[in-house]
Amino acid sequence: MVLTGRRPPRRRVAVAVTALTSAIALGAAGCTGADRDMFRPGAADAGDPYVPGHGNGGYDVKNYHLDVRYDPATDRLTGRATITATATQDLSRFNLDLVGLQVGAVTVNGTRAEHRRDDGELVVTPPDGLSRGRPFTVTVDYAGVPTAVSDGALGSGGFLHTADGAVALGQPDSAATWFPVNDHPSDKASYELAVTVPDGLSALSNGVPGPKSSADGWTTWRWSERTPMASYLSTLVIGDYRVVTGSHAGQPMITAVAASLPATGGAAGSLARTGEIVDFLASRFGPYPFESYGGIVVADDRVAYALETQSRPVYGPAFFADDRPNPGVVAHELAHQWFGDSVSLTRWGDIWLNEGFASYAEWLWEEHDGGRTAQRNFELQYASTDWSQPSVEPGRERMFGAAVYKRGALAVHALRRTVGDATFFRILHTWTTERAAGSGTTADFVALAERVADRQLRPLFDAWLVGGAAPTLP
């Protein structure tokens, strides 16, 4: 044992030395070479096939601090964006999304950086590479006449110049029309906004209001949203509004209705129920996830939709046509505060996770408000559903289609029928709690439901979300 054991050790030593030597050699070469090679450009989009070109890679934004001034008389916006981010790779350069507008100076960590435009991209090359894991700060000075984007699916979005101001709104994209941004929901961030408009106009946005200040005929409104927000959930509404500032459950509640709409009646009356509807939804979904409440009704018909902009949804005027109340749309947009805003998508192919639950919340609210039961809505919808269209991966053209909304809601109710009320609402609470201020995918939701229910549910979700034939009623 000793003798035979002697030679192998010498060989092993020899081998080990050789290995070590080559490791050092590789390491040395690898280090220099790799360091140079690994400072590479960040991706020009988020890799989401539903929104080619949107979002970017190589960094993660923590905060947007936006300082903008808008003059409705000239439709000109000037701004400075200060963006705090962390590099997620060794970055030689990176992209921000910015549609239209002219860019002046760009700095990275206080030093002037080269920049160029490439269609909807602002490409920034700092003088030195940015190391992975290190925070960095970008400032972008920009100005110009912001543009709308027309997307067929939802009507006009982006920055709309209105009769008395502007509305910046839209899904899946809108933010890049008024500030440089990593414009994809997979990168959520906190926001601070200071927006300066002529005296007499309101300037409304997400989150908690800060102090207002006036000088030389201009007023600066301030807003902050501390809970991470997806960029498409940001909004800016400027114009002549009747603003009601109050509080609900100890937090600010700010609602606003365009002054050209009736002072009382459908729009104002429905918005006034925001607190009541939030409380009802909180009793089903868990605690309200943000630090402020509210809603804004705009008068511009081009906003042919309502959008769950974080903490303060924006509603188009058509929802309250003929001055009719519409608490159902309020319930839908407020339900999104849990499903979509607090727990966000990482890819648009999972949009049923937003819309299926928000549509289901309409059924819950209707039943609570003395209308049809959720079960009855389920039966009616089941009978009229086209099962050939899937809820998951609906395709770009059907992102806002019935399979996402209605079939999604059917799947939610089918889950409830299968696991029973107690387990069902425990699943929803667990999802909104564990994923709060974060995100999730369809697979994450199915896994969580199976864990909470302690049973296999994948076949149920498959049948109700993507199966090609009407599933058996649970």
Nearer to Zn ion, 146 or 317 (CB): 317
Q: Is 448 in the site for Zn ion (CB under 5 A)?
A: no
The residue (of 275 and 356) whose beta carbon lies closer to Zn ion is 356
> Could you tell me which stretch among 121-129, 231-239, 291-299, 357-365 binds Zn ion (CB under 5 A)?
357-365
Q: How far is the CB of 402 from Zn ion (least distance, A)?
A: 13
Q: In b/e form, how buried is each residue of 346-385, taking b as 16+ CB within 10 angstroms?
A: bbbbbbbbbbbbbbbbbbbbbebeeeeebeebbeebbeeb
In the bound state with Zn ion, the residue whose beta carbon lies nearer, of 121 and 362, is 362
Only one residue has tokens 């988020």, namely 46
Q: Considering only the stretches 101-109, 130-138, 350-358, 457-465, report the one whose residues sit in contact with Zn ion under the rule CB under 5 A.
A: 350-358
What is the nearest approach in angstroms of Zn ion to the Cβ of residue 58?
Answer: 31
Q: What are the φ/ψ torsions at residue 306 (nearest 5 degrees)? A: -115, 145
Q: Which of 211, 202, 149, 150 is nearest to 178 (CA)?
A: 149
Point out which residues pair with 117 in neighbouring strands: 122
Instruction: Find the shortest distance in angstroms from Cβ 335 to Zn ion.
Output: 8
Pick between residue 225 and residue 355 the one whose CB is nearest to Zn ion: 355
Q: In whole angstroms, what is the distance from residue 239 CA to residue 167 CA?
A: 9
Residue nearer to Zn ion on the CB measure, 179 or 363: 363
Q: Quick one: 64 or 352, whose CB is closer to Zn ion?
A: 352
Specify the amino acid at residue 89: Q
Q: Which of these ranges, 172-180, 256-264, 351-359, 393-401, lies near Zn ion under the rule CB under 5 A?
A: 351-359
Distances (CA, A) of 306 to 148, 157, 301: 17, 11, 11
CB of 220 closer than 8 Å to CB of 233: no
- Which residue number places its CB atom closest to Zn ion? 358
Rule CB under 5 A: say whether 166 interacts with Zn ion: no
By beta-carbon proximity to Zn ion, the closer residue of 96 and 358 is 358
Task: Tell me if 130 contacts Zn ion by CB under 5 A.
Answer: no
Q: How far is the CB of 231 from Zn ion (least distance, A)?
A: 17
Distance CA 470, CA 81 (A): 50
User: In the complex, what is the shortest distance from the CB of residue 358 to Zn ion, in angstroms, rounded to a whole number?
Assistant: 4
Asked whether position 358 contacts Zn ion by CB under 5 A, the answer is: yes
CB of 154 to Zn ion, least distance (A): 10
Per the DSSP assignment, residues forming a β-bridge with 405 are none
329 binds Zn ion (CB under 5 A): no
Closer residue to Zn ion, CB minimum distance, 197 or 409? 409
Strands 208-209 and 202-204 turn out to be: unpaired
Candidates 128-136, 142-150, 166-174, 355-363; binding stretch for Zn ion (CB under 5 A): 355-363
Comparing CB distances to Zn ion, the nearer of 269 and 328 is 328
Question: Segment near Zn ion (CB under 5 A), from 6-14, 314-322, 347-355, 453-461?
Answer: 347-355
Count of residues near Zn ion by CB under 5 A: 2
**In contact, 149 and 99? CB cutoff 8 Å:** yes
Contact window for Zn ion (CB under 5 A) among 158-166, 275-283, 358-366, 435-443: 358-366
- Binding letters toward Zn ion, positions 272-301, x by CB under 5 A: ------------------------------
Q: Which residues bind Zn ion (CB under 5 A)?
A: 355, 358
